[in-house]
């Protein structure tokens, strides 16, 4: 339809084309400057230290079985983590999409909190809960008179899988839940009326309709687990290594930059292939639908069955996400002498007069400042990229889509080192600039905006837009009054992710020299760097502050969208 | 309601951007001295301010990840250095730093107060600034309750009564882990250390990738872990006392510092080639090696000062111990064998 209309009006065609190229330009320029340029520089330096290619390391990569095994482990643990996350989170997505209940917004914000916690802190929470002396094991040993702890998860694959589900639950909830809420219940109702069982209805109506968003969310989870670093290092122990861990080891501790670069290249190529398969799959499964207002799709859990469904899911979330978080909070208020707020009070003191002391209020302000900057940048870049991809079905677009996702799966060490050698001269003298922090966060965050907005954009039937154009609306007007109201929710989902990623300090910033930017995660790392109960307690207290600040940020973001008539 | 929240968010956003910018502008009229360092670096604010006032300069610290990551960044940026001074290269990384040739020699007058055994670079491109011993720490209460004798030597760890009690960091990913591996190489020799590790593995040693997981995740004295022996620093017991929520008379942990059981980690400071403020950089190095700064080091970073004249704080005098006979391996030897040692260790212990 789109194409037919364009062919009839050459003038429109030309201006639309220019507009399309313009809109792809924003993310492309950003990627060129902050991704490809530093990456090419570090690769050049690694593979051609003297100006001539030295590919000895690449040979080693193939000749030793160790790297093949690492790649295999990286892939299967990511695939398994993704499947487990889907199994656990899809029922949750369903209740968020189909029901209205008190505290729903709060609960939804809460599911995203794990995303911001540093892996050291998550490990501490899991140890407190499931470690050999943890709450669960102590209780089991007491109740069943056991001498050894029955649950032994330390340094096992189960710990890794659990942490990945814990972190990524919210990705499925947000992205699949959002799409589910836009589906017209009348479709499945019709199927039921025609005699289909509820399982058959799900399998043949709901699931195919949800498939694009399930794919999008799974892809994000998969890429996140594929490049998993902290979780593997801390919870998995040294017997497990992903490619990302091996890159860190090679680059930082063995100083083998060529090998690190070679592994990064492998990681990037694999991600590109996964992405390309996904894009291909997605183009085959996309369909358009008239989006439905939430007023129609959501109801109160009124029947007994409804209440059981909602209740079970809330309990599942409480156990899976709530109990580790609760264990954290508990550790921040329990001292050897019992309950006390001494750790929180200590956050406000600087007895050593250290120049690196981070006052809590300042840490919150900096973290939120960076997060908002990253949010705005990610929205601009992500929306431009998604709009371009949604309108363009050419070969170029199918290559650009995977390209846009690459930063998400690129090793932070490699990219961080790339920044050191690439961004060192004016006008890009950003190595030690405070702006490098939100820029690096944006690189990881905007793919989330693309993935959450794109399925929504693609689902808008072309004739909705055409009707608006026929009635004389300009493309900007159409965007504002037709497209935006439909995708608004997905945009906010993307914004929440951008905010979260930045506040949790994902990305290359960990390996980049930077002046004092006292954010909350850095404060936590600072405390955990030295022995002493007070340091540990303060780290837990600061983690709790981080959780609260994040939750507050989410609630504010959610506020923006609530209370709107006929929203989707 | 909705509009006011959006306005508030926009306001916070611009406020944050503005504070960021104004900080950048302020520093343009004064000279800036950049100090690159690792994440564990710390120092008192008033010392820095005093130096800044006296010399009309602003000091900016660039924290650049762990020691290895920071050094790598310094080397990568040698064409166009990011900093004037680097603080915190240790003797395990030293040779690599010197080989990359990124430091200017500087014969600081303060060197006369530093022990000869700590000076490892005859050309003084890297000057010793602090040191500490990496060693075994144990949970005093754990051994007392069970009536087991606490470990005194490396050999103790492979005895049956110490089965499953020890947690050690991976030398491939952790700096205390590497230091401990070097201690075993120094103690048992290049021919014997792998046998020791084989025995250690058979005796149920647990390997973690970093100090944080070992200490906060597995060590019984500091966490809910079940292992009472951990590789940490000789200065960890005073840190336990200093950072306790209630004042303690006795440290809950103790360090094993018998002869040939610890590895001495010496940290160095150096002036980076290409600095535009050579004079100020030298003054800052002098300042770092002088008594005031040196006396500030123990409670900031929990390592020992190199300057003989520096007095130790009471908590160090009372609770910290240094080994009389630490293991020292020349940085050149470390640089030559580092990768091979780590590789052999990995094959012996992990695979």
Q: Categorise residue B67: left if φ over 0, alpha if ψ from -120 to 50, beta otherwise.
A: alpha
Are B1 and A370 an interchain contact pair (Cβ–Cβ within 8 Å)? no
CB A267 within 8 A of CB A410: yes
pLDDT at B10 over 70: no
Q: Categorise residue A472: left if φ over 0, alpha if ψ from -120 to 50, beta otherwise.
A: left
pLDDT at B24 over 50: no
CB-CB neighbors (< 8 A) of A237 in chain B = 206-209, 213
Distance from CA of B179 to the nearest CA of A (A): 13
Which of A53-67, A466-480, B95-109 comes out lowest in average pLDDT?
A: A53-67
User: What pLDDT is stored for residue A7 in this prediction?
Assistant: 40
Mark which residues 273-312 of B lie under 8 Å from A by CB. 299-300, 302
- The fold adopted by the segment(s) B2-131+266-319 is D-Maltodextrin-Binding Protein; domain 2 (3.40.190)
pLDDT at B13 over 60: no
Q: Token match 């600081």: residue? A: B108
Mutation target to probe the A interface, by most A beta carbons within 10 A, among B69, B90, B238, B299 is B69
Domains of chain A: 2-561 (1.10.3720.10)
User: What pLDDT is stored for residue B189 in this prediction?
Assistant: 94
User: What pLDDT is stored for residue A393 in this prediction?
Assistant: 73
Question: Which segments of chain B belong to CATH 3.40.190.10?
Answer: 2-131+266-319, 132-263+324-349
> Any chain A CB within 8 A of the CB of B348?
no
Distance from CA of B110 to the nearest CA of A (A): 24
Mark which residues 159-178 of B lie under 8 Å from A by CB. 170, 172-173, 178
Q: Give the angle B239-B240-B243 at the CA atoms, nearest 5°.
A: 75
Which of B6-20, B158-172, B224-238 comes out lowest in average pLDDT?
A: B6-20
> Any chain A CB within 8 A of the CB of B226?
yes
Report the candidate in A527, A540, A452, A447 with the shortest Cα–Cα distance to residue A491: A452
User: What pLDDT is stored for residue A16 in this prediction?
Assistant: 61
Neighbours of A199 (CB within 10 A): 8
Which residues neighbour A560 within 8 Å (Cβ) at sequence distance 6 or greater?
A: A492, B2, B5, B6
With cut-offs at 50, 70 and 90, classify the pLDDT of residue A558. Answer: confident
CB-CB neighbors (< 8 A) of A433 in chain B = 24
Residues A445, A357, B238, B268, CA torsion sign: positive
Query: What are the start-end ranges of the E strands in chain B?
Result: 31-37, 57-63, 85-90, 103-104, 127-139, 166-169, 206-208, 229-233, 253-256, 263-272, 304-305
With cut-offs at 50, 70 and 90, classify the pLDDT of residue A276. Answer: confident
Burial class of residue A521 (count of CB atoms within 10 Å of its CB; 0-12, 13-18, 19+): buried
Which of A356-360, A443-447, B6-10, B316-320 comes out lowest in average pLDDT?
A: B6-10
Average pLDDT over residues B114-141: 96
> Any chain A CB within 8 A of the CB of B118?
no
Residue B65's φ and ψ, nearest 5 degrees, are 85, -160
Distances (CA, A) of B8 to A502, B18, B22, B214: 19, 15, 21, 44
Q: What percent of chain A has pLDDT over 70?
A: 92
Are B173 and A536 an interchain contact pair (Cβ–Cβ within 8 Å)? no
pLDDT at A10 over 50: no
Average pLDDT over residues A148-176: 89
Report the candidate in B25, B39, B272 with the shortest Cα–Cα distance to residue A516: B39
> Any chain A CB within 8 A of the CB of B4?
no
CB-CB neighbors (< 8 A) of A421 in chain B = 76-77, 79
Mutation target to probe the B interface, by most B beta carbons within 10 A, among A118, A531, A558, A563 is A531
- For residue A132 the two structure tokens come to 């050999």
User: What pLDDT is stored for residue A53 in this prediction?
Assistant: 76
pLDDT tens, position by position, B294-347: 999 999 999 999 999 999 999 999 999 899 999 989 999 999 999 899 989 999
pLDDT at A267 over 70: yes
B132-263+324-349 domain in CATH 3.10.290.10? no
Q: Which residues of A469-487 are buried (b: 16+ CB within 10 A; e: fewer)?
A: beeebeeeebbeebbeebb
Are B213 and A533 an interchain contact pair (Cβ–Cβ within 8 Å)? no
Are B63 and A513 an interchain contact pair (Cβ–Cβ within 8 Å)? yes
Distance from CA of A357 to the nearest CA of B (A): 9
Which residues neighbour B59 within 8 Å (Cβ) at sequence distance 6 or greater?
A: B32, B33, B34, B35, B48, B51, B52, B284
User: What pLDDT is stored for residue A1 in this prediction?
Assistant: 35
Are A373 and B39 an interchain contact pair (Cβ–Cβ within 8 Å)? no
- Any bridge partners for residue A354, and if so which? B44
> Any chain A CB within 8 A of the CB of B208?
yes
User: What pLDDT is stored for residue A163 in this prediction?
Assistant: 93
3-state secondary structure of B255: strand
pLDDT tens, position by position, B142-154: 999 999 999 999 9
CB-CB neighbors (< 8 A) of A531 in chain B = 215, 222, 232, 236, 239-240, 243, 253, 302
Residue A234's φ and ψ, nearest 5 degrees, are -90, -50
Specify the length of chain A in residues. Answer: 568
Mutation target to probe the A interface, by most A beta carbons within 10 A, among B21, B245, B313 is B245
> Any chain A CB within 8 A of the CB of B53?
no
How far apart are alpha carbons A231 and A222 in whole angstroms?
Answer: 14
Are B209 and A352 an interchain contact pair (Cβ–Cβ within 8 Å)? no
Largest CA distance in chain A: 82
Neighbours of A544 (CB within 10 A): 20
Q: What percent of chain B has pLDDT over 70?
A: 92
Distances (CA, A) of B112 to A376, B108, B291, B308: 55, 8, 12, 9
Torsion of CA A168, A452, A520, A228, to 10 degrees: 40
CB-CB neighbors (< 8 A) of B220 in chain A = 133
CB B62 within 8 A of CB B88: no
Which of A90-94, B17-21, B217-221 comes out lowest in average pLDDT?
A: B17-21
Which residues neighbour A25 within 8 Å (Cβ) at sequence distance 6 or greater?
A: A384
């Amino acid at each position: 339809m789109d194409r037919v209309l364009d062919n009839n009006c050459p003038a429109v065609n030309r201006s639309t084309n220019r507009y399309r190229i313009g809109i792809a330009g924003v993310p492309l320029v950003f990627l060129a400057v902050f991704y490809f340029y530093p990456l090419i520089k570090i690769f050049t330096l690694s593979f051609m230290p003297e100006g001539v290619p030295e590919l000895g390391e690449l040979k080693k990569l193939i000749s030793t079985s160790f790297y093949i095994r690492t790649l295999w482990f990286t892939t299967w643990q990511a695939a398994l983590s993704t499947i487990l996350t889907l199994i656990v989170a899809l029922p949750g997505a369903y209740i968020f999409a189909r029901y209205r209940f008190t505290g729903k917004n709060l609960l939804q914000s809460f599911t995203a909190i794990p995303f911001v916690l540093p892996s050291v802190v998550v490990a501490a929470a899991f140890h407190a809960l499931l470690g050999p002396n943890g709450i669960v094991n102590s209780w089991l040993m007491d109740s069943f008179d056991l001498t050894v702890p029955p649950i032994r998860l330390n340094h096992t694959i189960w710990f890794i899988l659990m942490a990945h589900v814990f972190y990524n639950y919210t990705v499925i909830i947000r992205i699949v839940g959002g799409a589910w809420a836009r589906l017209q219940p009348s479709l499945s109702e019709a199927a039921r009326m025609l005699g289909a069982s509820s399982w058959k209805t799900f399998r043949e109506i709901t699931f195919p309709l949800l498939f694009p968003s399930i794919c999008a969310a799974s892809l994000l989870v998969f890429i996140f687990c594929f490049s998993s670093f902290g979780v593997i290092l801390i919870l998995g122990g040294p017997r497990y290594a992903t490619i990302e861990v091996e890159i860190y080891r090679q680059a930082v501790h063995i100083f083998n930059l060529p090998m690190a670069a070679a592994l990064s290249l492998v990681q990037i190529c694999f991600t590109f292939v996964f992405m390309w398969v996904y894009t291909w799959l997605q183009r085959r499964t996309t369909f358009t639908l008239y989006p439905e207002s939430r007023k129609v799709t959501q109801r109160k859990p009124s029947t007994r069955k409804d209440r059981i469904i909602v209740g079970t899911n809330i309990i599942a979330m409480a156990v899976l996400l709530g109990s580790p978080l609760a264990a954290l909070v508990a550790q921040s208020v329990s001292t050897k002498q019992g309950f006390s707020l001494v750790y929180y009070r200590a956050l406000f003191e600087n007895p050593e007069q250290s120049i690196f002391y981070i006052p809590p209020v300042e840490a919150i302000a900096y973290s939120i400042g960076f997060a908002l900057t990253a949010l705005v940048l990610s929205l601009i870049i992500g929306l431009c990229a998604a709009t371009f991809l949604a309108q363009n079905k050419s070969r170029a677009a199918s290559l650009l889509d995977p390209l846009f996702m690459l930063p998400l799966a690129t090793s932070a060490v490699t990219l961080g080192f790339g920044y050191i050698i690439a961004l060192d001269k004016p006008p890009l003298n950003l190595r030690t600039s405070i702006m490098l922090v939100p820029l690096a966060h944006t690189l990881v965050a905007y793919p989330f905006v693309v993935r959450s907005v794109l399925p929504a954009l693609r689902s808008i039937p072309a004739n909705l837009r055409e009707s608006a154009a026929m009635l004389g609306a300009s493309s900007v007007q159409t965007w504002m009054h037709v497209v935006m109201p439909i995708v608004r929710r997905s945009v906010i989902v993307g914004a929440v992710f951008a905010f979260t990623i930045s506040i949790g300090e994902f990305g290359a910033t960990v390996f980049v020299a930077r002046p004092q930017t006292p954010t909350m995660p850095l404060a936590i790392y600072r405390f955990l760097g030295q022995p002493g109960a007070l340091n540990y307690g303060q780290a837990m207290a600061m983690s709790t502050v981080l959780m609260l600040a994040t939750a507050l940020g989410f609630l504010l973001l959610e506020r923006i969208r609530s209370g709107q008539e006929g929203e989707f | 309601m909705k509009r006011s929240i959006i306005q508030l968010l926009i306001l916070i956003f611009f406020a944050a951007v503005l504070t960021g910018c104004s900080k950048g502008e302020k520093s343009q009229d004064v000279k800036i001295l950049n100090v690159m360092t690792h994440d564990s670096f710390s120092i008192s604010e008033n010392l820095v301010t005093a130096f800044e006032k006296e010399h009309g300069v602003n000091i900016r610290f660039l924290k650049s990840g762990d020691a290895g990551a920071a050094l790598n960044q310094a080397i990568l940026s040698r064409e166009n250095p990011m900093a004037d001074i680097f603080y915190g290269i240790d003797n395990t990384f030293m040779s690599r730093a010197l080989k990359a040739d990124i430091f200017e020699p500087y014969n600081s007058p303060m060197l006369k107060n530093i022990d000869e055994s700590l000076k490892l670079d005859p050309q003084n491109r890297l000057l010793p600034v602090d040191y500490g011993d990496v060693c075994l720490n144990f949970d005093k209460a754990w051994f007392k309750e069970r009536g087991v004798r606490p470990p005194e030597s490396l050999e103790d760890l492979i005895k049956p009564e110490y089965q499953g009690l020890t947690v050690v960091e991976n030398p491939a990913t952790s700096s205390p882990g590497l230091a401990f591996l070097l201690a075993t190489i120094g103690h048992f020799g290049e021919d014997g250390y792998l046998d020791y590790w084989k025995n250690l593995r058979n005796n149920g040693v647990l390997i973690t990738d970093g100090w944080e997981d070992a200490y906060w995740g597995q060590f019984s004295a500091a966490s809910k872990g079940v292992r009472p022996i951990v590789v940490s620093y000789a200065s960890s017991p005073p840190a336990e006392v200093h950072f306790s929520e209630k004042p303690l008379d006795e440290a809950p942990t103790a360090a094993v510092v018998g002869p040939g059981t610890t590895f001495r980690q010496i940290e160095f400071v150096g002036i980076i080639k290409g600095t535009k403020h050579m004079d100020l950089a030298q003054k800052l190095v002098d300042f770092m090696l002088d008594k005031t700064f040196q006396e500030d080091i123990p409670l900031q970073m929990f390592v020992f000062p190199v300057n003989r004249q520096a007095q130790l704080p009471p908590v160090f005098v009372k609770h910290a111990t240094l080994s009389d006979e630490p293991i020292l391996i020349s940085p050149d030897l470390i640089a030559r064998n580092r990768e091979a040692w780590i590789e052999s260790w990995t094959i012996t212990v992990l695979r």
